[in-house]
Structure 1
Amino acid sequence: GIVLGDNVTVAAAADLKRPIVLSGVSLGEGAELRGCVVDRNSRVGRRAHILEGAIIGAHCVLGEESQVRPAVAIWPSKAVEAGAIVSTSLIWGQGATRHLFGLRGISGLANIEITPEFAVRLGAAYGSLLNPGAQVVVSRDQRSISRMISRSLMAGLMSTGIHIQDLEATAIPIARYMVGHLAVVGGVHIRLDPERSDHLLIEFLDQRGINLPTAQEKKLETAYLREDLRRATVEGIGDIHTPGMAVAAYGEGFTRHLNGQAIRHSRAKVVIDYAYAVSGAVLPQLLAQLGCDALVLNASLRQNPPTAAERAKLLDQLGRVVTALEATLGIQVGANGEQLVVVDEQGRPAAGDELTALMAALMLRHHPGQTLVVPVTASGAVDQIAQIWGGRVIRTKANPAALMQACQEHRGVILGGSGDMGFIFPQLHPGFDGMFCIAKLIEILTIQEDTLGQVRAQLPQVAYRVERVSCPSRLRGAVLRYLVEHHASRGLDLVDGVRLYPDFPRRDRWVLVLPQPTAPVLDIMVNGPDPTWVNLQVEHYTHLIDTFLHLEITHEIGVDQ
């Protein structure tokens, strides 16, 4: 029979067969419950399915069309995203999502959401998509959690008959380079998430070293969620090999794409801050081979990485060391060798959009008439720099895979990326590489006989501002459609999000509204001639979007009632 507690709301077309539903639960239209238990004050969305033996804790929220598989337990106060399929018990963490992949790869709370059990199953799902006997590179950062997860993932791969080239603890630029130079079909890199220090990030690479395209990510998600896993026979279990000389192989390519003679005669003095994220740094060895003097700071490993405040203090310390030593420049390296903050000879840091413009200016002055690939979020300073030096700017979606792909597809690309994501030098390998970026900076500054501060002073001045607006995920598409419909006559770009031109046909003044893929927010980015104009546009579009959201949410409440 059916057991219902007090104040249970059951919407039309709900299908209940032997459930136990406790007090205060709300069941949406068309929800199906089969021999399960739903604890108090939980909400089950429309057309959600809870199957036999499943237990839903108190104060949980199950999104529309989500599904809880048989005998799965969801602990109290969890949220399951619309459309998600929960096939294993959900005990820790925030909840379950429909998509494994985010902007850079698969990210989750270390040893809570990204667990050894998860990694084994994920490795088996990935291996099941590959031909038996294929080879895959596996690499990681130096932290213990990454070692544990990589070994679990390798076990899953081996169980499907996949052979592993284990690079062990390796910076991701070196891993990408090796994927392109070994007889492998792809790679996996495991590291702490650069954005969230309590999260682990798992990135899957294709045979060129580029992050998997969306279509391949979806295939992997489907294999994982459906548990569509291949099992090899005893004779077909994969092996682990450890290729030697990975750093030496990368170093050969590294030096081949630099003007070594210029660097040797530069007398450059560089200060590199590793912010306690690496032990046994590779870059100083490579620079020493080129005759460059590098002073290394904080090159020891802390299992708990520095907080944002600690990194800011280390950056301030780096600036003081650079000025005291009269060094050429300083660098704070992050994200397992991908990202960096640059400090000029006066101790002033350059990061984010300013660093994008700085690198664009240096590269186009050195290679006039060539092509830059940047995300849609880059300011108009890049376009002005390209105009001065006869270059071309290609804008892509604001995600790493799109940038890497564009750098490979277009001819004459000398630089890709941004100050926030990192920089790509396609002639070396298709991914971001902070190590090569540092060497390239030294080379170009030497050849052009400039200091970083002098180049910085010559950058075009643009007003640029980013404002973040809260927006429920379900309404992001509606907001973008509204903006398109109301601005179609004034010119639009739809590469990623919606770029509007308030003073159309002028295209040097624009507003970009871009959803964040991993958070219920919209970023409003405004580029213009002066701060006054930019601030007016930020206020206008913030008000416009807030008003639209208020009307939509009010309408939803009215419909529900």
Structure 2
Amino acid sequence: MQAVIMAGGFGTRLRPLTNNMPKPMVPVVNKPMLDHLISLLKMHNIKEYIMLLFYQSDIIKNYFGDGSAFGVKIDYILPEMDFGTAGAVRLSEEYIKDDFLVISGDVLTDFNLSDFYNFHKEKKTIASISLYSSDNPLQYGIVLTNAENRIVRFLEKPSSSEVFSDTINTGIYYFNKEVFQYIPENENFDFSKDLFPLLLKNDVPLYGFKSKGYWRDVGNLEEYIHSNLDALKGELDYIQARDEKGNCISPTAKIDPKAIIENSIIGDNVVVEKNAEIKNSVIWNNVKVGEKTKILFDVVGMNTEIDANTRINDFVFIGDNCKIGKNVFVSSSIKIWDKKIVNNNAKITRSLIYEDAFFNELFTDSRITGLSNLQVNPEFASKLGSAYGAFIGQNKTVLVGRDIDDISNMIKRSITSGIMSAGVNVNDLQVISIPIMRQELQNGHGMGGIFVRKSPFDKGTTDIIFIDKDGKDLTVSKTKSIERLYFTEEYQRADFFNVGFLKYPERTNEKYKEHFLKTLDVDAIKKKKFKLVIDYSFGITSTIFPNILGEFKCETVSLSAHLDKEKITRDKNEFTTALENFSYVVKSLGYDYGFMLDSGGETIWMTNKDGKVINDDRFLSLVLKLFLMVTPDVKKIGVPVQASGEIDLIAADHGIEVVRVKDSHYAMMAILDNKDVAFVGGTRRGFLFPKYLKATDGMYSIAKILEMLAKADKTIDEIDYLIPRLFMKKVNIPCVKEEKGMIMRKFMEDNTQYEQMLIDGVKLFLNETDTVLCMPDKTRDLIHLNVESNSPGKTEHLLDEYKEKLEKYITK
């Protein structure tokens, strides 16, 4: 039997441990992970390997040679470039005889590969996937199978809201040689993103085998230390490394009799002096630990010396060739890079490489959010700018902008310095709204943009928003590329004569206004002579929108219309008070409408003449109805999956198609790549009109609503009367992150009698009007349950019924 072993990973998340060795060679109980894997393969009579190498390939070749010393045969392939997982395996075709196993060289498992192979042969399929139930499926591909174990749905590394199962793809596959006909040659092609979706699309049978036993993808530093301790406890049935005292200690190590070693792994030629304590830790080869030093739940790299009376707290990861002095204190969750010298009596409270405030990932969608001047500080921002500049490429131009907050200004300037150091030019738009920056990019004025703001939800946090060259949010693949450059630091500074330049463009607001008015029927708005109350939320739009409103001949009363950096972020109580005051003013004045802009100028709230604030879901229905009444030849519109069923009823009345998308700004923008989509509306008061801008712009949304009301010659209350009404109720159900996948899987399995939509979460269609949406929150430990029907009583009953069902799934 043959196996293709993928052993080319960089091990970025394991740094500093992988600075000097490839990830598959990182030791687990004093033996490389890849060595353990070969032991497992031999147990199942798999002895011919094709190893795919890339990063530090010579270390693997020198260790294993041709495999004869290990009782196996090994051929090596070193791809010239990154072809993706499937594309790289395609290079092994000339070696493959028939069915073959594909497995990662950095996975730790004791799965019964013989049972898996028998399943594969029994199904007579060209592709089988080993599956496993995981408490945290977010970082893996999740899979849904039918009663015959045939895979019916596959999603690679879902967001929290996309999780529909806790059954994951382990990255272990059996293939028949026929699979190569589906993999293009010399192209970047991935198993999860490309091959498996292609097989499902072509109705090629793809089966999942639910494996039992131990499996851990050693993907980050915490996983690494836990995998060592698991192996030490004997959780993998073929690894027995524990001695009678519960440790794994190399016979060449020198341990003083008065030293305390508990539940730890000690490598070759390690010296531990008297009264030292090492607990729950992994000590690599050639390390010296001084007397009375304490190491607690840590990893220490090769050739490192730690002097006496030093304390290393938990989750500290020390690279190779470090020298740590006497009486040193190292706080928890610290990384110390290779060859670092720590002087005597030092107190280490931050990583000695860069401030690693984000242990797992930087981005949420296309945004980075962190504590102002703590996580998001000037050093972090400058490094982020350098990584972003390297991603953009030398001699290109990007835009930067900010809100009125002082910390936003500081962070923007730090990012700018980093970008310029990478040889990228910067056009600083200074204090500006996000929609204006998007419009500048859409008009071809930069290869990308970064906007810095104080979070609208938390006064102590800062948002860094990344925008692509077309004005849309960055894709996940691009944010991952920036993240990788940031964490690996594999970017170069420009030569001194290639450093980027800084410019301050002029007439940005004038160009914005010109484009803004060009896409509206200004005369129609003028004729209505609207009376409006506008609340600017103390944001930047107060310096821009009044000049535009003057063109409409509206009578306007402005609220919160000066810049105030202390008030652009509002907590829940502050916002509620502001909304109540705004509503009261509209009602008291008897004006036609009230509009409140968020401080960033992207979304809006609207009231009728009575000061009644329109519900978010109903607002979308009203704006859509208005749009369809005055816009001819509309073919398609887009809305998020959780939008009301009223949208479908309105669309059916006008004979148009509704395209449902994920609940993200990027998904709403991406659907506009389909030229038939004339309008996209969100459920959080954001609207996209592609003839103007393929992103949300609160100022334009107000103007467009006024134009549509004028053209329809109806009030918003009259529009409300024209459209059907459904009744939606929502509740949030607390649950731990680890149970989200299990909850979604059970929810699907228990409701197979209904049509199901799996765009974001799981949406059940009980009949033409009644729906139930169960959707995990992206960041918080809770599940959203949205129920809608054609009567309030029925909605209340369904909400109670499905809330009870979901709560029964929760065990923690």
Same fold (TM over 0.5): yes
**Which bracket does the TM-score occupy, shorter chain normalised?**
0.7 to 0.9
1:356 has 2:617 as partner: no
Unmatched segments (≥5 aa) in structure 1: 77-84, 554-561
Query: 1:53-452, aligned counterparts within 5 Å?
Result: 57=331, 69=337, 88-89=354-355, 96-278=358-540, 280-305=542-567, 306-367=570-631, 369-407=634-672, 409-420=673-684, 422-452=686-716
Shift of 1:493: 1.2
Tell whether the 8 Å contact from 1:163 to 1:238 is kept in structure 2 after alignment: yes
Which residue in the other structure is 1:543 paired with?
804
Cα distance in 2 for partners of 1:495, 1:351 equals 24
How far apart, CA to CA, are the structure 2 residues paired with 1:493 and 1:25? 51
Which stretch of structure 1 is more off in the superposition, 524-533 or 536-545? 536-545
Amino acid across the alignment from 2:536? Y
Give the aligned partner of residue 513 of structure 1.
774
Deviation at 1:152, TM superposition (A): 0.7
Q: Secondary structure at the match of 2:401?
A: strand
Measure the CA separation in 1 of the matches of 2:394 and 2:580.
52
How big is each residue's C-alpha offset from its partner over 1:418-472, in whole Å with a ceiling of 9 and x where there is no partner? 2415111111111111001111111111122222222234442212122212233
Superposition deviation, residue 489 in structure 1: 4.6
RMSD (Å), alpha carbons: 3.2
Q: How many Å apart are 1:337 and its aligned residue?
A: 0.5
CA deviations 1:183-237 (Å, max 9, x no partner) are: 4211111112233332211111111100001110110111111112220111101
Secondary structure of 2:472 counterpart: coil
Q: What CA distance in whole angstroms lies between the structure 1 residues aligned with 2:336 and 2:803?
A: 38
Structure-2 separation of matches of 1:24 and 1:499: 53
Paired residue for 2:201?
none
Give, as a single letter, the amino acid of the residue that structure 2 aligns with 1:454.
Answer: E
Shift in alpha-carbon separation, 1:443–1:509, aligned structure 2, 3 A: same
2:282 to 2, 11, 15: 15
Cα distance change of structure 1 residues 291 and 56 upon mapping to structure 2, 3 Å threshold: same
Change (3 A) 1:335 1:352: farther
Q: Secondary structure at the match of 2:643?
A: coil
Code of the residue aligned with 1:383 in structure 2: it is D
Partner Cα distance (2:585, 2:280) in 1: 70
TM-score, with length taken from structure 2: 0.59
Q: Look up the SS of the partner of 1:215 in the other structure.
A: helix
Q: Is the CA contact 2:448–2:466 (under 8 Å) kept in the aligned structure 1?
A: yes
Mean alpha-carbon deviation: is it higher for 424-433 or for 455-464?
A: 455-464
Q: Distance in 2 between matches of 1:21 and 1:508?
A: 73
Distance 2:428 2:523 in 1: 34
Query: In structure 2, what residue type is equivalent to 1:88?
Result: Y
- Looking at structure 1, the residues matched to 762 and 336 of structure 2 have their Cα atoms a distance apart, in angstroms, of 36
Change (3 A) 1:405 1:307: same
1:80-107: per-residue Cα shift (whole Å, max 9, x none)?
xxxxx995346xxxx6341111145111
Q: Is the 8 A contact 1:355 1:418 kept in 2?
A: no
Q: Aligned equivalents of 1:491 and 1:229: distance in 2? A: 49
Residue equivalent to 2:763: 499
Name the aligned partner's letter for residue 667 of structure 2. Answer: A
Gap regions ≥5 residues in structure 2: 1-253, 266-278
Q: Cα deviation per residue 1:118-177 (whole Å; 9 max; x = unaligned)?
A: 111111001001221001111111221111111111100000010111111111111100
1:86 and 1:317 mapped to 2: Cα distance? 51
- Counterparts of 2:596 and 2:291, CA distance in 1: 55
C-alpha separation between the residues in 1 aligned to 2:290 and 2:553? 74
CA offset at residue 7 of structure 1?
Answer: 11
Q: Is 1:270–1:328's contact at 8 Å kept on the other side of the alignment?
A: yes
Instruction: Please say which of residues 97-106 and 163-172 is displaced more in the overlay.
Output: 97-106
* Bigger shift: residues 16-25 or 153-162: 16-25
Normalising by structure 1, report the TM-score: 0.84
- How much does 1:542 deviate? 3.3
Question: What is the CA distance between 1:534 and its match in structure 2?
Answer: 2.9
Instruction: For residues 10-47 of structure 1, give each alpha carbon's deviation from its aligned partner in whole angstroms, at most 9, with x where no partner exists.
Output: 599962355799999984xxx7444687766x5x5xxx
Question: Relative to structure 1, is the Cα distance of residues 521 and 19 closer, same or farther in structure 2, using a 3 angstrom cutoff?
Answer: farther
Q: Percent identity?
A: 26
Q: Distance in 1 between matches of 2:787 and 2:295?
A: 44
Deviates more, 1:442-451 or 1:67-76: 67-76
Is contact 1:9–1:24 with CA below 8 Å preserved after alignment? no
Output the CA distance in 1 between the equivalents of 2:623 and 2:606.
10
Query: Partner of 2:792 in structure 1?
Result: 531
Over 3 Å counting, the alpha-carbon distance change for 1:413 and 1:194 in structure 2 is farther
Aligned residue in 2 for 1:484: 748
- Residue 454, structure 1, aligned to residue 718, structure 2: yes
Change (3 A) 1:480 1:97: farther
Structure 1 pair 484/56, CA: closer, same or farther in 2 (3 Å)? Answer: farther
Q: What SS is found at the alignment partner of 1:265?
A: helix
Alignment CA distance shift 1:2-1:228 (3 Å): farther
Paired with 1:300 and 1:21, the residues of 2 have a C-alpha distance of 64
Structure of larger gyration radius: 2
What is the distance in 1 between the residues matched to 2:742 and 2:352?
28
What is the CA distance between 1:511 and its match in structure 2? 1.8
Contact (CA 8 Å) 1:119, 1:153: kept in 2 or not?
yes
Mapped to 2, the partners of 1:86 and 1:404 lie a distance apart of: 40
Please give the alpha-carbon distance, in whole angstroms, between the structure 2 residues aligned to 1:20 and 1:344: 75
SS across alignment from 2:543: coil
**CA-CA distance at 1:182 after TM superposition:** 3.5
Distance in structure 1 (CA, Å) of the matches to 2:713 and 2:492: 59
SS at match of 2:775: strand
**Residues 1:500 and 1:109: Cα distance change in structure 2 (over 3 Å):** same
Whole-angstrom distance in 2 between the partners of 1:485 and 1:158: 53
On the 8 A contact 1:2/1:19 being kept in 2, the answer is no
Q: Give, as a single letter, the amino acid of the residue that structure 2 aligns with 1:119.
A: A
1:280/1:332 CA distance change after superposition, 3 Å: closer
CA spacing shift, 1:428–1:26, aligned 2, 3 Å = same
Distance of aligned partners of 1:478 and 1:168 in 2 relative to their CA distance in 1, 3 Å threshold? same
**Residues 2 and 462 of structure 1: CA distance in aligned 2, closer, same or farther (over 3 Å):** farther
For 2:296 and 2:721, how far apart are their aligned partners in 1? 61
| Distance in 1 separating the partners of 2:809 and 2:292 | 37
Residues 187 and 206 of structure 1 are in contact (CA less than 8 Å); yes or no, is this contact kept in structure 2? yes
On the 8 A contact 1:21/1:38 being kept in 2, the answer is: no
SS at match of 1:149: helix
DSSP-derived class of the 2:586 partner: helix
